[in-house]
Structure 1
Amino acid sequence: MSAIYKDAHRPVNERVADLLSRMTPEEKFAQMHAWWLVLSSDGNHRERTDLSDEFAGVKEQSALTERIKLGVGQITRPLGTHIVDAKEGVRAANRLQKTLLEETRLGIPALFHEECLVGLLCKDATLFPSSLNYGSTWDLDLIERAAAAIGEEARSTNCHQGLAPVLDVSRDVRWGRTEETFGEDPWLVGMMATHYVKGLQGKNRDLLATLKHYVGHSFSEGARNHAPVHLGFCELNDIFLLPFEMAVKLANAGSVMPAYHDIDNQPGHSDEFLMTTVLREQWGFDGLIVADYGGVSLLHQHHGVSHDAAESAALAFNAGLDVELPKDDCARHLSEAVERGLITMQKVDEIVTRVLKEKFRLGLFEHPYRDESGVVLQSAATVKIARDVATRSITMLENDGTLPLKGQPRVAVIGPTADDPLALLSGYSFPVHLIISDMLEQTSQVTTPLEALRNQLGSDNVHYSKGCHIIEKRMAGAPVFPGDSGGKQMQASPVSDDMSLIPEAVKTAEQSDVVVLCVGDLSGLFQSGTVGEGSDTDSLLLPGVQQQLLDALIATGKPVVVVMTGGRPYNLGGQEDNVAALLMAWAPGQEGGHAIADIITGHAEPGGRLVVSIPKSAGAMPYYYNHKLKSGGTPFAFHFGSRYPFGFGKTWTEFDYGSLQFESRDVPNDGGVVSVGITVSNNGMVAGSEVVQLYVHDKVASMVRPVQELKAFQRVHLEPGARARLTFNVPTDMLNFTSRRGDRVVEPGEFEIRVGASSADIRSSGCVMITGDTKVIGGNWRMVSHCKIEYLK
């Protein structure tokens, strides 16, 4: 008679209990961590070793062949760890899974995870645009389709968990990981994340999305990687916890990853209040909490809140962690932790129960393998979605009428990012992410702006000069590995200061009718680039000598169209008024060149809107539109503010707004809905789309509130002369904030409703009165607003 846990017809809870009862303590501990291996289809797997071992303080490991007999919870990035053909990678993963199923005592399969933020982190997978691009589309359905496409590529390679999306709310664009965020508004981030999770996981949650980085990671001291965060719970809940709460409650997210930093001296990886009290008990989260890579070992290596690896493991697992990633740096000391009384076997059983439950629910025991012939990457449909995201996210900030280009002009394409495939990719794309591991660049599927413009305008009409370098040679490694304070000498910055290419670029410009100047960032981990994880900055000036190149080209008198790509916005050194046009394309992925060329030539509309404000200078940081009144100082500092605010973006046409009309000026607090209508008209000569945005200002509250907060938005496409009436419905629950007691409350009183084209371009406003008593909200409160569009004759 077979064991209960092997019977697929038995309830999951029975199977888990039966299997747990058969496991030794060592077999249980093995389910609480991952292995990071370079897999081989012949079974000769080896452990991946690199700087991260030094980072985590790990110097030795026992033989893999001995440890494999105990099983393992997860395998870290089987296809994303090294350059391997996807089919061969699936064969190798199948080989390891076969060993776990057939050559261990209990035959427990492993769960495989990969990075999935900007596409599956795997050779030849589709390279999607960055999260900033996702946000800039203001298109929830499109992002859900993009995530679903990423999920299908992941499933085809037998990935069970994707380490995405990132729910950090941007506060300071100097932070290198700004490129991974959906933007600076917590509700918009929550909506984008909710739809991303729904798309990635599918209806059955058969691929686990992972919400990260829980929580507040983006508001670090000085916008530096891993730096402490200084927040009280009220602001933490209103701004940073809100997106996580939305994705857990609205999308049933399957996993959460805590962050590296500490908040008010409490490290995220040992925060029982956030991981257990809030996430599990208050929100009802039922998935897996997995460590950020090396995060458990940082409790003793960097934070100094434990003495050793055994104590770090106990702190993290007692606080709510389920699985240590990427390896067993601390979990391998769990036996010692139990012996020392730091953690109980009862707690271990509680954790392993959750791990096994998810493995049974995912069907890993019945379907542990993936047919290598079923791998599907770069399908035509998926590539089209990637291109749609890239195109719809491009945001036009300036245009004097030069765009779209007309006729057959002679075009000078200039700049360090014009013909560099890596310049279109963000840090968690496969080619960029592996630079730190001395891996080769895999960018054959990327179309650069130069290639795309030559295709559309003809090679004879397009002439190219690089103009300058950003980084002359991409190097693996980092000047100082993150968090290192061991006295190592800082290497020199890799950013180039060579201006010798500028004169040739000027000659190219002088022989042309218009200049397309491509500038921006090169993403790279830990200072191997100018933006990305661990690649923070102290300036919003263009890296290297790109500003000098821009100045020289403007001095020619030729119209200069600036296309900025990268993971954060930069200033143009005061030349914003002198450029012919300015396009913000962020990191648009493998189809980014096509998308940029389509906008420049008028084959597509610049439909993007900013999801991060572009500050006047680094001195304005941290800056975000939903600041408090006193944020700018008293009086407002000259450097405070943003030339290009949240929600801003120009199009080929102009839109007019009518007056705001209220269904009722008095709305009951309990169960009420604020309903407002507005008419929008296209007064231009061409068709176009407008993103109509609704903001709320709480005029008097018991706690200090932001100057305004986004609560609804709707894109509407209108032909020339056409009109549409938009009716927004905002539940009163969405007017909440966190009280001193830690509850979400909605207070009665006067609220100003503002509707416009951006946070700084309000076209109509009016006030409503919320009546009744103060309402404490909890559970599944109403988090989503809705809009109805009626096209008028």
Structure 2
Amino acid sequence: MNVPYKDSKNSINERVADLLARMSREEKLAQIHALWLILDAEGQHQLRQDSFAGIKSEGWQARLANGLGQITRPLGSHGVAPKDGVKALNSLQRYLVENTRLGIPALPHEECLVGVMCRGGTLFPGSLNSGATWQPELVEAAANAIGKEARSIGCRQGLAPVLDVSRDVRWGRTEETFGEDPYLVGVMGTRYVRGLQGEQRDLLATLKHFVGHSFSEGARNHAPVHVGERELNDVFLLPFEMAIKQANAGSVMPAYHDIDGQPAHSDYRLMTELLRDQWGFDGLLVADYIGVSLLYQHHGTAKNAQDAAHQAFMAGLDVELPGDDCVGKLDPNDQHTLPDAILDACVTRVLTEKFRLGLFEQPYTDENAISFQQPETLSLARQIASQSLVLLENDGILPLAEDQHQTIAVIGPTAADPLAHLSGYSFPVHALLEEAQESVAQVVTPLQVLQQRYGDKVVYAKGCDILTSPRMGTAVFPGDVEDSASVHVPSPVCYDDSAIADAVACARQADIALLCLGDLPGLFQSGTVGEGSDTDTLALPGVQQALLEAVVATGTPVVVILSGGRPYSLGGLEEQVSAFMLSFSGGQEIGNALVDVLSGKVNPSGRLPISVPKSAGAMPYFYNHHFKSSGTPVAQSFGAKYPFGYGLGYSRFAYRDLHIATEELAITDELVAQVTVENTSGVDGEEVVQLYVRDVLAKRVRPTKELKAFCKVKVPAGEVVTVTFTVPVDMLNYTDQPWERVVEPGDFEIAVGSSSQHLPLKGHITVLGNKPRVLPKMWKMESTATVNP
């Protein structure tokens, strides 16, 4: 008997229509949720019990006979050898394909922000590192490599990239962002999607967290967001629009917060009217974990689980993740809560993606073809890490002498701690949520490589700990207590300063001290940065400031290497140390990358993707603020110690000869600006050339400056290169009415330089016209750059 949906010769639309017509309501409901299972190769699967998600699904085994939409993190949910994990996933798929009435396979998803988040996956540098490279091609290459690792374990949807635009570095999830500029985030996010999905979109990227999640009240996890429609569109929606329209992103994930009282998971205007109707998004809208149930558990906009499901799916959601908390409580015969038309639309989109992904033809994964930790992948991770290191201060002490005869004191809590150089969304860190210890042997620490490179010239002292021990049990969630004012949770941060004396002795016997300071990632206050690990200060965690002051007081030249998911203050010692470098979350190759840069093998070329504010009192701070953001008079706490786009190297560059091809442009034209960059030093180097624009007069208040073009260029010692930027006038738009981007005729200032504050070259253009131009759906969103030696 010929079954049309099983015949790959038929069109996807024909296959979907045929399969949908054969499905019962129970089978349709099964396709719009996941299950979070601990899978077993012999089919003895167990429901994952999770204190955060609160999953207590009853009767899931019987309901599995109706099929399953997605399987949540089949390898990433627990510590399992990849081969065993693939066997277990195949066991589940075999049951669904061979033992259910319709044989519909599940769509497996995994976290993959900085690598596939399961045992053995390559641990790439964090998103801030990617942003700090200012090299979109590296981001695309990394995502491509991550995609290959994901496909090799059967993953068909990755929950990345994060397109939140950083606004307040106190927010624990700052480390997951590409930075604070919406254009930079959009370019990097677009490249990530292209790299992960590939040309065939046979693995779905998932854009998150839709939208504005990073502008939460007080930089607190899940807190409400206070933002107007225009700022929402110009800043926070822009990266999502770019990744959907330019890279055909396959999935979007709403956020946990509410905006002006409207939870993201039930926002019809954003999920349906904007995403689908206006932008033309054709993929899957999947819930953030327990985001649907939070509508009744936290937000209080739904009366129960059934009502929460009604609100979310009527608003446009397709799949509940990570389990069936709310969908599992629906009465299949209840047409009011989930009408047939809405259910059929969701299931149609789910089945369409399953056919597109080839799951019906290839539901199983070859357990002998897992591809982790390939040499070219490790080389790429090392390259991204080295290209992302941002040198903020250097009195000439770096690079270290090629034949280092001086004694090097390596001091600090992050020098030998592998976890300190990983993102919160890496598997070893995430495992701590389960109070499990995962091997971090693949992480090459700074101390390891320094000892290999300089041998007995290296002496080491830890100096202090950041945490007493990585642990869970510190988080308190809304509803756990009557009033947050009564919360008194002991901090895991360590304040024991007894080891500082050993560090001082170590520094005194050395000619130079490399002081490694920073964060320890951990979710929900199990660390000092990461999801749910927000802060109220930019002071170094624990007693690290005291350690820094004591080592500086020895008189030994100090090089500070600050790792972690946010910048910290050095308490006024920034100019007193000999060098200061940010390494963010450098991943498993950080030791090699760091020593490459310290030794001069690689000239540092990372530039800040976020501003380093003067103090927590400046928060929220971002370079592209409004003129009046600094207050009247200017608040002394306002501003950045080190601005967006800033960074030093071992070379010096001079900018000259800004030439704008045409200063009067039609409203549909392109700005062409040419600049000359000279390497005035004797060291080959790389420079990030940046072009900013200011709208001089507009109907609405506009930022003081906005990044519109950038290019990292290699300039040999003593040589000159010419960079030509082409910027569509479309990119000079702003939002007038909600979701309506317009370009207004008038004057614009053009500035080019090496950071948002060092812009030595200035020019201007005039956009001609009698009235604003409303941009079409597919407006020109990116600039281009060409380099001529």
TM-score range, shorter chain: over 0.9
Map 1:620-659 to 2 at 5 A.
Answer: 620-659=618-657
Q: Tell me, in whole angstroms, the C-alpha distance in 1 between the residues paired with 2:122 and 2:193.
A: 18
Q: Tell me, in whole angstroms, the C-alpha distance in 2 between the residues paired with 1:547 and 1:484.
A: 34
State the 1:485 CA deviation: 4.2
Q: Tell me, in whole angstroms, the C-alpha distance in 2 between the residues paired with 1:628 and 1:483.
A: 37
Q: Tell me, in whole angstroms, the C-alpha distance in 1 between the residues paired with 2:570 and 2:53.
A: 41
- What SS does structure 2 have at the residue aligned with 1:382? helix
Superimposed CA distance per residue, residues 32-78 of structure 1 (whole angstroms, 9 cap, x where no aligned partner): 00000000101100010021243xxx5x4323321210111000000
State the 1:182 CA deviation: 0.2
Q: Tell me, in whole angstroms, the C-alpha distance in 2 between the residues paired with 1:608 and 1:129.
A: 13
- Cross-structure match for 2:458: 462
Q: Tell me, in whole angstroms, the C-alpha distance in 2 between the residues paired with 1:686 and 1:585.
A: 22
Q: Which AA in structure 2 matches 1:260?
A: Y
- Cross-structure match for 2:686: 689
- Whether the aligned pair in 2 keeps the contact of 1:686 and 1:720 (CA below 8 Å) is yes
State the 1:741 CA deviation: 5.0
2:125 matched to 1:129? Answer: yes
Map 1:26-41 to 2 at 5 A.
Answer: 26-41=26-41
- Cross-structure match for 1:378: 373
- Cross-structure match for 2:334: 339
Q: Tell me, in whole angstroms, the C-alpha distance in 2 between the residues paired with 1:335 and 1:408.
A: 76
The alignment of Structure 1 onto Structure 2 pairs a total of residues equal to 784
- Cross-structure match for 2:504: 506
- What SS does structure 1 have at the residue aligned with 2:173? helix
- Cross-structure match for 1:9: 9
**Distance of aligned partners of 1:115 and 1:22 in 2 relative to their CA distance in 1, 3 Å threshold:** same
Q: Tell me, in whole angstroms, the C-alpha distance in 1 between the residues paired with 2:355 and 2:738.
A: 40
Q: Which AA in structure 2 matches 1:437?
A: E
**734-743 or 267-276, which moves further after superposition?**
734-743
- Whether the aligned pair in 2 keeps the contact of 1:314 and 1:334 (CA below 8 Å) is no
- Cross-structure match for 1:190: 186
- Cross-structure match for 1:543: 541
2:103 matched to 1:88? Answer: no
- Whether the aligned pair in 2 keeps the contact of 1:519 and 1:563 (CA below 8 Å) is yes
Q: Tell me, in whole angstroms, the C-alpha distance in 2 between the residues paired with 1:268 and 1:630.
A: 30
Q: Which AA in structure 2 matches 1:311?
A: D
The alignment yields a C-alpha RMSD, in angstroms, of: 1.1
**597-606 or 294-303, which moves further after superposition?**
597-606
State the 1:453 CA deviation: 0.7
- Cross-structure match for 1:355: 350
- Whether the aligned pair in 2 keeps the contact of 1:469 and 1:496 (CA below 8 Å) is yes
- Whether the aligned pair in 2 keeps the contact of 1:226 and 1:483 (CA below 8 Å) is no
Q: Tell me, in whole angstroms, the C-alpha distance in 1 between the residues paired with 2:679 and 2:331.
A: 69
- Cross-structure match for 2:432: 435
Superimposed CA distance per residue, residues 453-504 of structure 1 (whole angstroms, 9 cap, x where no aligned partner): 111111x010110000100211134331467445685320100010000000
- Cross-structure match for 1:206: 202
State the 1:202 CA deviation: 0.4
2:441 matched to 1:444? Answer: yes
**Distance of aligned partners of 1:314 and 1:210 in 2 relative to their CA distance in 1, 3 Å threshold:** same
Map 1:45-64 to 2 at 5 A.
Answer: 45-54=45-54, 58=55, 60-64=56-60
- What SS does structure 2 have at the residue aligned with 1:328? coil
**473-482 or 409-418, which moves further after superposition?**
473-482
- Whether the aligned pair in 2 keeps the contact of 1:73 and 1:355 (CA below 8 Å) is yes
- Cross-structure match for 2:294: 298
Correspondent of 2:675 among 669, 675, 678: 678
Correspondent of 2:765 among 755, 764, 768: 768
Listed as ranges, the gaps of 5+ residues in structure 2 are none
Correspondent of 2:581 among 568, 580, 583: 583
Map 1:98-117 to 2 at 5 A.
Answer: 98-117=94-113
Q: Tell me, in whole angstroms, the C-alpha distance in 2 between the residues paired with 1:722 and 1:295.
A: 55
- Whether the aligned pair in 1 keeps the contact of 2:4 and 2:10 (CA below 8 Å) is yes
**Distance of aligned partners of 1:411 and 1:360 in 2 relative to their CA distance in 1, 3 Å threshold:** same
Q: Which AA in structure 1 matches 2:364?
A: Y
Q: Tell me, in whole angstroms, the C-alpha distance in 2 between the residues paired with 1:100 and 1:341.
A: 29
- What SS does structure 2 have at the residue aligned with 1:575? coil
- Whether the aligned pair in 1 keeps the contact of 2:193 and 2:249 (CA below 8 Å) is yes
Q: Which AA in structure 2 matches 1:596?
A: L
- What SS does structure 1 have at the residue aligned with 2:782? coil
State the 1:408 CA deviation: 2.0
- Whether the aligned pair in 2 keeps the contact of 1:436 and 1:477 (CA below 8 Å) is no
Q: Which runs of 4+ in 1 moved over 3 A?
A: 481-490
- Cross-structure match for 1:42: 42
Map 1:321-332 to 2 at 5 A.
Answer: 321-332=317-328
Map 1:369-448 to 2 at 5 A.
Answer: 369-406=364-401, 407-448=404-445
State the 1:710 CA deviation: 0.2
- What SS does structure 1 have at the residue aligned with 2:330? helix
**653-662 or 350-359, which moves further after superposition?**
653-662
**Distance of aligned partners of 1:741 and 1:169 in 2 relative to their CA distance in 1, 3 Å threshold:** closer
2:67 matched to 1:71? Answer: yes
- Whether the aligned pair in 2 keeps the contact of 1:26 and 1:335 (CA below 8 Å) is no
State the 1:15 CA deviation: 0.8
- Cross-structure match for 2:698: 701
Q: Tell me, in whole angstroms, the C-alpha distance in 2 between the residues paired with 1:741 and 1:293.
A: 29
Q: Tell me, in whole angstroms, the C-alpha distance in 2 between the residues paired with 1:312 and 1:176.
A: 28
Superimposed CA distance per residue, residues 65-119 of structure 1 (whole angstroms, 9 cap, x where no aligned partner): 2121011100000000001110110000000000001111111000000001000
**Distance of aligned partners of 1:742 and 1:9 in 2 relative to their CA distance in 1, 3 Å threshold:** closer
TM-score (norm 2): 0.98
- What SS does structure 2 have at the residue aligned with 1:564? strand
Q: Which AA in structure 2 matches 1:754?
A: A
- Cross-structure match for 1:275: 271
- Cross-structure match for 1:737: 734
State the 1:539 CA deviation: 0.1
